């Protein structure tokens, strides 16, 4: 990977042997490995048995989870917040595990649409809740720094299932509580 970064530097007419760039290929390779570390994780390991008997049927929400990912089309970052809600059936999940599931999928080359769906599907698989919803609000550097160059645009994606999708009151509660 370091050789590839050296070639990229040469491709933009930079000298990878100049002082400021000598270690850049190694740093860039290490950075890319960290930013895509989600490929080395799996759902079972991330959850690590943190399922507990549900003693409530009230909605559980973890909102404003910071999210950093790389757009698979341009390899530029997109950043934002993820909001997750579910209505338990038999289990609840340790709250930090919700954020860890977000992180696992965000640390892969992504589209925001797929990331939203993957988080929702994974948590549905683990929890088998009565309902689940995931909303992501993000700024995309591929829209901000290049192309259309719109610095203040926000993309919003959602995936909802079960009660949150089918029951208008439950959906309204979800949307009200995350706003």
Per-residue pLDDT 10s for the chain (179 aa) are 999 999 999 999 999 999 999 999 999 999 999 999 999 999 999 999 999 999 988 999 999 999 999 999 999 999 999 999 999 999 999 999 999 999 999 999 999 999 999 999 999 999 999 999 999 999 999 999 998 998 899 999 999 999 999 999 999 999 999 99
pLDDT of 105 reads 98
Q: Does 94 lie in the same domain as 141?
A: yes
> Would you state the pLDDT for residue 51?
96
**CA quadruple 144, 145, 146, 149: dihedral sign:** positive
Q: Are residues 141 and 63 in the same domain?
A: yes
pLDDT for res 151: 87
- Do residues 124 and 168 both lie within one domain? yes
Name, in order, each residue with C-beta under 8 angstroms of 41's C-beta and a sequence gap of 6 or more.
104, 107
Measured CA to CA, the distance from residue 146 to residue 86 in angstroms comes to: 37
Task: Output the pLDDT for position 46.
Answer: 98
Do 95 and 141 belong together in one domain?
yes
**Total domains, the chain:** 2
Claim to verify: residue 26 and residue 52 sit in the same structural domain: no
The boundaries of the domain holding residue 125 are 42-178
Active-site residues: which are they?
Answer: 71-74, 112, 140, 142
Both 50 and 18 in one domain: the answer is no
Same domain, 158 and 87: yes
Same domain, 14 and 77: no
Same domain? 62 vs 135: yes
58 and 110 part of one domain: yes
Domain with residue 90: its CATH number is 3.30.1130.10
Q: Rg of the chain's alpha carbons, rounded to an integer?
A: 19
| Assigned token pair, 84 | 């997750």
Q: How far apart are CA 30 and CA 34, in angstroms?
A: 6
Shared domain for 23 and 47, answered yes or no, is no
Same domain, 141 and 169: yes
């Amino acid at each position: 990977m370091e050789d590839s970064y050296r070639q990229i530097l040469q491709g933009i007419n930079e000298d990878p042997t100049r002082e400021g760039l000598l270690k850049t290929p190694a740093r860039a390779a290490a950075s890319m490995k960290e930013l895509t570390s989600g490929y080395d994780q799996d759902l079972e390991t991330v959850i690590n048995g943190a399922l507990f008997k549900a003693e409530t049927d009230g909605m559980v929400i973890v909102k404003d989870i910071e999210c950093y990912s790389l757009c698979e089309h341009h390899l530029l970052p997109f950043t934002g917040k993820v909001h997750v809600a579910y209505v338990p059936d038999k289990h609840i999940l340790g709250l930090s595990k919700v954020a860890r599931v977000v992180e696992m999928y965000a640390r892969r080359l992504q589209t925001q649409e797929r990331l939203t769906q993957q988080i929702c599907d994974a948590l549905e698989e683990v929890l088998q809740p009565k309902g689940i919803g995931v909303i992501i609000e993000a700024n995309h550097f591929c829209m901000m720094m290049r192309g259309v160059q719109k610095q203040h645009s926000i993309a919003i994606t959602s995936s909802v299932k079960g009660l949150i999708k089918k029951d208008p009151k439950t959906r309204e509660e979800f949307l009200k509580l995350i706003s």
